[in-house]
């Protein structure tokens, strides 16, 4: 921020932005009295921020105005939240106090502003911390805890904070690069998962795309251009797909609107990276959304959704494996809809989403719309999945005796976890974490059922307790009175709830497991050639996010901490030095030409990561921006860098020879490792090689892709 007297142009801009906000606020306010509070909040904030400018040079007051606009337009909150958004920086950045806000605007608006001020104070102060940090000192972990604790007071604090973060992301190009990367990493680790859990699809998607635009600019540009070309080619075909649907729905006398949706650049990039496929194999680029009138009671609303579905599958061939019923069992963020995937008459699959207007409001505006409809009687008074999640987070915050970093890890995993639907023997639907096992399901029903489980039947077939469940499975747990938890269960249990129950069961006899853990700890260090020193013990405690050595030994003895945690902590081959004095991280294998960021270690060494490396997100959360530096001159004509390519194609005779000749002879590149195998006519595997830079790698990918028989070539470093 800077101080500079406003010009006539500045005042004109402020007036224009305020009038636009006032117009939408008037539509949201119930009467003139509420609107007068919003007007009063603007006048107060405008005076408090007079002549103050942002880094962009614009008047500072434009930021609160834009945050308030997001609050009303994209989240759908009322006059108190709009007022709090306008006032959210006043206490932190001026001489006014919370008491001043309380005296002028009342207790509730003061509480919202106070919550936002406390969050901002932690965020701004974390960069002032310097030097090595212990596992209990993560400012960002404490920040997440502070944010989530506001759920106990008023969830609107979190919603307004998300609006604030979204606007900061929209103007992030004015931030210094190292600060920008910290903010983006923090956004990806905390705020995007929060927006997802609170059902704010629009907010989440925009923040994801901004993250990709700055973290992987080349990928963002390439994907965006391909999407634009694809849409131009397919737009008329999608319109042809929609016409018969419109005709059929009109004949059925169903009020509706139809919208077209294109997959976002970030979601495409994420799927390409996770599935290790090229853009051409992203088949769900398009979706058609049917939104029907919701002025019905809940039962009639559901019946209308299923009626529309029956009309659709009468028109087009349906891919049954892709049908999703989020109406019978809504997602944990309150999302409801029917999803089906239909084959267009021009020969490509299109996802169709069926929602009422109420469901669409909740899908776009999340928790605010959810509770609005609940208060109006459209949603059952019983706890919804959203309400259950909020209660679960509050219970974790209040009851969990863990340090801040471990809490951060627990909450982050919970935020990004998706659910599947399974059935009891009587046909009752239950949601459970994707990847959960039969035993996790047993513990989700009742502790005693989990403790006494000995086997199960999944879809009427006998299966072990370690069987991973799939959506739609019907599960019957077989128990025995003499059954009790076994240590080996911890090797396959996936849900935190089940793992905690089993862990606590063995705490009753903790001492022998601690002694066993000490022996294993000593043996593992000896095998790795690592000294058993207090310093190395502290290093492992920090890596495992534990405070107490006896707890570490207990978890080692129980099998919760295996050899991989030791290898990750004490491995001496975690980075590769280069001649410029940098150390290149092997977790993401950056190349000259990649967007990179440097992290300064305790000994002063600068470790270079790709900006999109997941490790950067964790480092930003633990250390803030004080340890990040801009890496310059990351170019070289002579050095070689390791990279891995995943390859898939048709298993033809001589294909391996063509691949190796192209790499070694045509490209003159050294192959470090090659692993290709053929099965049922399909060849797939990977090749590790040394390349000079990103351009060298891209030339390699283009050349390999042109070899007859090869279908996909994808870089898979991370």
C-alpha to C-alpha distances, 143 to 124, 125, 147, nearest whole angstrom: 11, 11, 6
Rounded to 5°, angle at Cα 717 from 713 and 718: 120
C-alpha to C-alpha distances, 17 to 109, 129, 376, nearest whole angstrom: 22, 37, 33
Query: Residue 190, Cβ neighbours under 10 Å: how many?
Result: 24
Axis crossing angle, helix 367-375 with helix 357-365, rounded to the nearest 10:
140
Residue of 34, 89, 93, 280 with catalytic role: 93
- Tokens matching residue 40: 């009063």
- 682-691 vs 641-650, strand pairing mode: antiparallel
Burial class (CB in 10 A: 0-12, 13-18, 19+), 543: middle
DSSP letters for 422-477: EE-TT--EEEEETT-BHHHHHHHH-HHHHHTEEEEEETTEEE-TTPBP-TT-BEEE
How far apart (Å, rounded) are the C-alpha atoms in residues 319 and 420? 18
How far apart (Å, rounded) are the C-alpha atoms in residues 41 and 64? 10
Task: Render the burial of 294-328: b for 16+ CB within 10 Å, e for the rest.
Answer: beeebeebbebbeebbebbeeebebeeeeebbbbe
Residue of 19, 34, 89, 92 with catalytic role: 92
Q: Which of 437, 479, 471, 475 is nearest to 459 (CA)?
A: 475
Contacts of 465 (CB under 8 A, 6+ apart): 437, 438, 439, 442, 453, 454, 455, 456, 489, 492
How far apart (Å, rounded) are the C-alpha atoms in residues 260 and 257? 10
The Cβ-side half-sphere exposure at 464, using a 13 Å CA radius, reads 7
C-alpha to C-alpha distances, 276 to 358, 459, 685, 716, 718, nearest whole angstrom: 37, 31, 11, 7, 10
How far apart (Å, rounded) are the C-alpha atoms in residues 254 and 248? 9
Q: 584 forms bridges with which residues in the sheet?
A: 576, 608
Q: Which long-range contacts (CB under 8 A, 24 or more apart) does 224-231 make?
A: 224/265, 226/279, 227/262, 227/263, 227/265, 227/268, 227/285, 230/285, 231/262
Q: Is 93 a catalytic residue?
A: yes
Query: Residue 666, Cβ neighbours under 10 Å: how many?
Result: 11
Catalytic annotation, residues: 92-93
């Amino acid at each position: 921020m800077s101080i500079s007297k406003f010009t006539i142009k500045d005042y004109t801009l402020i007036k224009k932005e305020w009038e636009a906000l006032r117009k939408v606020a008037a539509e949201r306010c119930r009467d003139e009295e509420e609107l007068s509070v919003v007007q009063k909040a603007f006048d107060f904030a405008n005076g408090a921020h007079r002549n103050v400018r942002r880094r962009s040079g614009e008047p500072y007051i434009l930021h609160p105005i834009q945050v308030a606009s997001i609050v009303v337009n994209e989240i759908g909150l009322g006059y108190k939240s709009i007022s709090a958004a306008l006032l959210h920086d006043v206490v932190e950045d001026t001489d006014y106090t919370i008491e001043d806000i309380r005296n002028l605007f009342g207790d509730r608006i003061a509480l919202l502003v106070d919550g936002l001020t406390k969050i901002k104070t932690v965020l701004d102060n974390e960069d002032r911390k310097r030097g090595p940090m212990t596992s209990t000192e993560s400012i960002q972990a404490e920040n997440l805890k502070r944010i989530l604790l506001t759920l106990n007071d008023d969830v609107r604090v979190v919603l307004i904070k998300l609006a604030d973060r979204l606007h900061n992301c929209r103007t992030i190009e004015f931030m210094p690069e190292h600060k920008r990367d910290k903010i983006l990493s923090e956004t990806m680790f905390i705020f995007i998962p929060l927006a997802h859990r609170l059902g704010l699809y629009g907010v989440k998607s925009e923040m994801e795309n901004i993250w990709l635009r700055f973290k992987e600019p080349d990928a963002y540009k390439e994907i965006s251009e391909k999407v634009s070309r694809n849409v131009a080619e397919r737009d008329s075909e999608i319109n042809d797909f929609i016409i018969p649907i419109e005709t059929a729905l009109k004949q059925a006398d169903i009020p509706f609107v139809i919208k077209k949706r294109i997959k976002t650049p970030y979601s495409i990039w994420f799927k390409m990276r996770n599935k290790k496929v090229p853009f051409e194999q992203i088949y769900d680029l398009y979706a058609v959304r049917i939104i029907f009138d919701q002025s019905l009671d809940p039962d009639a609303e559901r019946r209308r959704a299923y009626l529309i579905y029956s009309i659709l599958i009468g028109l087009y061939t349906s891919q049954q494996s892709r049908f999703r019923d989020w109406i019978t069992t809504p997602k944990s963020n309150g999302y409801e809809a029917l999803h089906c995937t239909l084959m267009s008459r021009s020969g490509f699959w299109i996802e169709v989403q069926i929602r009422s207007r109420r469901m669409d409001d909740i899908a776009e505006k999340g928790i605010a719309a959810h509770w609005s409809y609940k208060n109006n009687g459209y949603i059952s008074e019983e706890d919804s999945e959203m309400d259950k999640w909020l209660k679960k987070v509050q219970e974790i915050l209040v009851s969990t005796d863990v340090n801040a970093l471990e809490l951060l890890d627990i909450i982050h995993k919970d935020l990004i976890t998706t659910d599947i639907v399974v059935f009891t023997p009587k046909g009752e639907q239950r949601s459970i974490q994707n990847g959960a096992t039969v035993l996790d399901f047993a513990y989700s029903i009742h502790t005693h059922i989990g403790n006494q489980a000995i086997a199960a039947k999944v879809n009427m077939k006998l299966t072990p307790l370690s069987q991973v469940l799939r959506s739609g499975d019907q599960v019957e747990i077989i128990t025995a009175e003499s059954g009790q938890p076994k240590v080996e269960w911890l090797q396959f249990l996936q849900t935190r709830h089940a793992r905690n129950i089993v862990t606590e069961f063995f705490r009753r006899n903790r001492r022998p497991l601690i002694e066993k853990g000490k022996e294993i700890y000593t043996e593992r260090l000896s095998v790795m050639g690592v000294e058993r020193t207090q310093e190395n013990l502290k290093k492992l405690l920090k890596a495992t996010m534990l405070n107490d050595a006896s707890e570490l030994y207990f978890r080692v003895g129980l099998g919760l901490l295996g050899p991989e945690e030791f290898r990750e902590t004490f491995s001496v081959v975690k980075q590769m030095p280069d001649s410029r004095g940098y150390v290149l991280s092997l977790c993401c294998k950056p190349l000259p030409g990649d967007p990179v960021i440097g992290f300064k270690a305790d000994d002063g060494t600068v470790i270079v990561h790709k900006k999109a490396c997941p490790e950067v997100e964790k480092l930003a959360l633990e250390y803030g921006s004080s340890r990040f530096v801009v890496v310059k001159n990351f170019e070289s004509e002579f050095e070689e860098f390791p990279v891995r390519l995943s390859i898939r194609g048709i298993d033809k005779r001589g294909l391996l020879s063509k691949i190796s000749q192209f790499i070694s002879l045509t490209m003159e590149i050294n192959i470090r490792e090659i692993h290709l195998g053929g099965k049922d006519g399909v060849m797939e595997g990977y090749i590790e090689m040394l390349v000079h830079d990103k351009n060298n790698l891209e030339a390699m990918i283009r050349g390999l892709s042109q070899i007859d028989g090869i279908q996909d070539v994808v870089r898979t470093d991370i």
